[in-house]
Structure 1
Amino acid sequence: MNYKTRAAITLLSATCTFSAQSTSFTDPIDGMFDMGEYLAENAYGFLPVPILITEPAVGLGGGFAGVFLHESEQEKEHRKKLAMESLDGGARLIPPAVTVAGGAATENGTWFAILGHRRTWNKDSIRYMGGIGYGNAFIDIYSDLGGLLPQDKPLSFESDNKGYGGIQKLQFRVGDSPLFLGVSQFWTRSEVTSSNQIINKILELTVGTETTASGLGFVAEYDTKNSFFFPTDGYSINAEYLWFRDAIGSDNDYETFALDGQAFFPLSKQWTLGFAGNYASLTTDELSLPPLARPYVKLRGIAAYRYQDNYVASVQSQLMWHLTPRWTLSGFAGSGSASKDFDGLYEDSEFAYGAGFRYLMARRYGIHMGMDFAFSEDENAFYFNVGSGF
């Protein structure tokens, strides 16, 4: 552990200790460790979330993120009252505004810093989410180098990716329904280079080493989940379509579409079955695009950007056993596929599986934290997660 890591841990501990001098970390209902009062009653209270990275694409690493919850005094008192009346009373309220700030680094030199914010207005009839980030990632890219190689025989090469950017989404509820419609913006400025001079030259001649991606589009969401942080009932469907064009500052012209879904079914008081699916596509008339532009298979246990193409899809399921109101154990499994053409999806597929646990860290907000241990044919990893893991 280097001196910067030790200093960060010391500072975080001191901050938590100072803020917690007059705050109880014991829940008055069940007597268990809980950070709900600390988050609600301290002006500078935040949930410290350790970031443990075992992502196969970048190696071992870690860092910290702070989750800040913003509520008015009236909202705090209402949530506290409901939390005292039932175990999940406060958790079912409309979530407060949330700010997340943090960063992390890994053993191969990869690092990043992020700042994100989510807020609702008018009794959750308007939702806003935005974030910015800056980072430097050293990852292996599996690419056909702009069409110079066959799609079924991509070349793997080490890459150095530097960049910064941001996203924004603004959504409006349709009447009193669970449907939200809105607009979305995506913008990044990145530089991709390789330690291999031949690869570097090919990048320069095809897509260039510096790229700006700028997209505008529409987003739709249908959400009936019973909790923002840890749902156990209901479902959600999210769809987003983005246009990337020179007229709005993009170096390449293409369109992306993403469809994500989650569903949770309470089998009994102690068991919940969850499903999640993802589909993403990219269409373009250009012969070559930056290596990281295309979507990739996103599953716990499979390295980011390992399976990447014009069309990707994944499905996964998760069985959760609520051992006690505080502790939850889970097992999960999923498969994903990437293909140049839509018809080729799942002609070849990758499988991943694993198990994990969650602890109810802040009962009045329904915030669960824990770890997942995931495995696939070629890799394995563990993840520190807030939420269900989907």
Structure 2
Amino acid sequence: MKKILLSLSALSLAGLLSPSPARAAPADAPAAAPSALSAETASAHLPVRVVVVTTFEIGKDTGDTPGEFQNWIEKFPLSRQIAAPGTDHGVMYYNPELQVLGIATGEGPEHMASAMTALILDPRFDLRKSYFVLAGIAGVDPGFGTIGSAVWAPRVINGGLAHLIDPREIPANWPDGFTPVQGSRPDETPRPPLHSLSGDMVYTLNPGLTRWAYELTRGLTLPDSEGMKTIRARYRGYPAALKPPSVGIGDTISGETFWVGKRMNRWAERWVRYWTDNKGVLATTAEEDIAFCQALALQAKAGRVDPERAVVLRSTSNFDMQAPGETAAGFLAAESSEKGYSAFIPSVNAAYQVGSVVVRALATHWPRYEKTIPGAN
């Protein structure tokens, strides 16, 4: 999750994130409260067709204001609770009929990497043929799209690994103070390798699978609200930001610093172009995605997972920069007030609405997709 405001748990306790009329009605029949697996079942091998990866929940896992995880538990549903040792959240949920497993890793790349590694090494699961669907919320570049949308990522770019010169000391001819950690100039040429001892800068997800997921969901109508209309109306000069929410496809930049503002957005757009050799387009900004890809890539070396069976979906809860005529600090203050962040509930719902279509398709057509990845030529 990439947020630029107060902690969601604090907002929940303050009553600022109560469900609004804009919250989408459940697409699935209501489910009974999740039940705990018996000790015998919990220790036995469980088949997993799809792993749904979310990062956080607010308060309880069911029955209150939803975070990224709750809709999956209640609506999909994931009806059985399983212990999740070695993870921040402590429990996972499972649908035994469709053999879908859901996990909340905890926010941030450290939680993501450790939780994914713990899951993949868990002897209860064989994940060699499993699909992984990361479904979370994010910030959005108003030059790409608008709040309440859902975006499938062809690439994940590392926005947290760089050299940085203090803004007061940046050379006059530099666009910003960021350079590759393997270089000394923003436009270091030749571009350093994407994977090195210094770290991993870009992961390209399976293009066929990502395109298949996008085509399967692009026609969905996503929830809108009067609050979202009011927010996006301020972004005059950004045509994509003025449109209603929709399903799109675009790259995500992943970093642990919750940056804000037009100048930082300019850097992020440049950083995506630089590391993708001008092929990438910045769409969303999130925290955990680079760690998600790293964990899968490393465990793939041991043959435990197939990273070609992974997709990243980010729904957009907030813009990553201020509207024309506003300041970055003013924008942050407004978003942190109880009048801000009105796209939170719609974005949480959009992540489930769009992601569940893909998860259900993979799980229900398992005889085909166990052997052949969708979108394969």
What TM-score results when the alignment is normalised by the length of structure 2? 0.25
Structure ranking higher in helix proportion: 2
The structure carrying a bigger strand percent of its residues is: 1
* Structure of greater relative contact order (alpha carbons < 8 Å, 6+ residues apart): 2
